[in-house]
Each structure stands twice: as C-alpha cells, then as structure tokens.
Amino acid sequence: MLNFFKTSKETAFWNWFLKNKSKIEAFVHSDFSDYTIYNRLTKKLRAYDNRLFPELTTVDGDKYVLIITPDKDEKGNAPTRKLYDAKPLIDDWIVKKYRQPCDRIDLNFNGVAFPSSDMESIPTFEDPDRVDIAVFVRNFNRDKINYRSLAFLYLDHILGEFNSITKLRYVDFYHLDENQTVENSNSVLELRKMIEEKLY
C-alpha cells in the first residue's frame, strides 16, 4: 500500500530541530563543555546531506541564529537552498543559508586568533565570472594549517560564503611579517566591494 503521508527529508529535519530546540538554545548559552546536542544536530544535518554543517550564534541578545553552510563546497548549494526553503517559522530563531557578508567580525579557530586587518589581498580578474586572489596573512608561518583555516573563515564571513563559493577561483596564501605590508593590496572588505562591482 502506498504511503501518501510520508514525511520529506526536509520536514523530518525541521521536526527534529523543533523537538530539540530548547536543548540547542541551552547549548548556545552554555560554557561549551558538553557538545552532545550540537553533535546530534551536526549528525542530523549531515544525514540530510553530508556536505552541510550547522553554525550557531545569537544576535541582538535575544535571537538565536542557525546558519546552514556547505562549508565552501559548491555541490552543497542546492541542498542548502532546499533545506532553507523548507524551514518553518521558529520562535526566537533566525535561520540563514550560508555565512552572510559582514563588514567587521572577530573570529578564532582552534586557538588561533588574529584580526581580519592582518590579511591583505591582491586580486586578479582574468576570468569574467571569478577572481583569483593572493592572500597575505601576517605571521602565517607560525601555524599554516590553522591560519589558513581562519583566513578562509574570514573570507566566508566578510565576502559572504556564497561569494566565496561561486566567485573565488584560485586562492593562494602567503606569509606576511609582523610589520610588513604589500604594495597596492586590498583589505578583505575592499575585495568584496571589487567583486560586487566587477562580477555582478
């Protein structure tokens, strides 16, 4: 017998989220010593599509934010949009697809922290649809793996993750000494404005 009431994958995920909403909210306000509910959320999201990850934060002190991110994987664009479009209204929550562009943000990754002002870029607009960038990061050689990961996070959050996925072609990272600057370089925010002017 056909089951005409089979729940879609999108509805199943959002039903689970609603059922566990209070636990997720408690985690956002916790000291992050117990990642159980976050790990369950990650597992549920990756069961929907293994290219997707959740990011949790708050805004204006009283709103929770869930960001559904394909973490720079272009093949994750379609499932990100499909799950986002199926979202219900959730009290006190804002759901976003992709890391949204912002002018200023302070990030850290695996104990590594530096301001976005420690990044300088040289863009090359040879392709009509994408840009190649050389990114110079102050003290990059201290910890190339984690500095590179944090630099990518800054690109996602300042350029906007959708721009990061669809408009960046090649990204190369280079070391910058403490008091060194690169002639004719651009900040990440200036790079975003150049992308908006030249590629849209």
pLDDT, residue 59, reads 84
Tell me which amino acid residue 11 is.
T
- Per-residue model confidence (pLDDT) at position 1: 46
pLDDT number for residue 61: 73
d(CA 29, CA 132): 39
Partnered with residue 93 across adjacent β-strands are 64
pLDDT of res. 111: 86
Per-residue pLDDT tens for 128-157? 999 999 999 999 999 999 999 999 999 999
Number of other CB atoms surrounding residue 10 within 10 Å: 17
Question: Helix H segments across the chain?
Answer: 9-19, 21-28, 36-48, 77-85, 144-154, 161-167, 188-199
Residues of the chain with pLDDT under 50: 1-2
Domain positions in the chain are 9-97, 108-199
Domain 108-199 has CATH 3.30.300: yes
Q: Report residue 165 CA to chain centroid gap.
A: 10
The alpha carbon of 1 is separated from its chain's Cα centroid by a whole number of angstroms, namely 43
pLDDT in tens, 99-137: 989 998 888 888 899 999 999 999 999 999 999 999 999
Nearest-angstrom CA–CA distance, 105 and 121: 17
Using alpha carbons only, what angle is made at residue 113 by residues 110 and 118, rounded to the nearest 5 degrees?
135
Tokens 């992050």, located at residue:
32
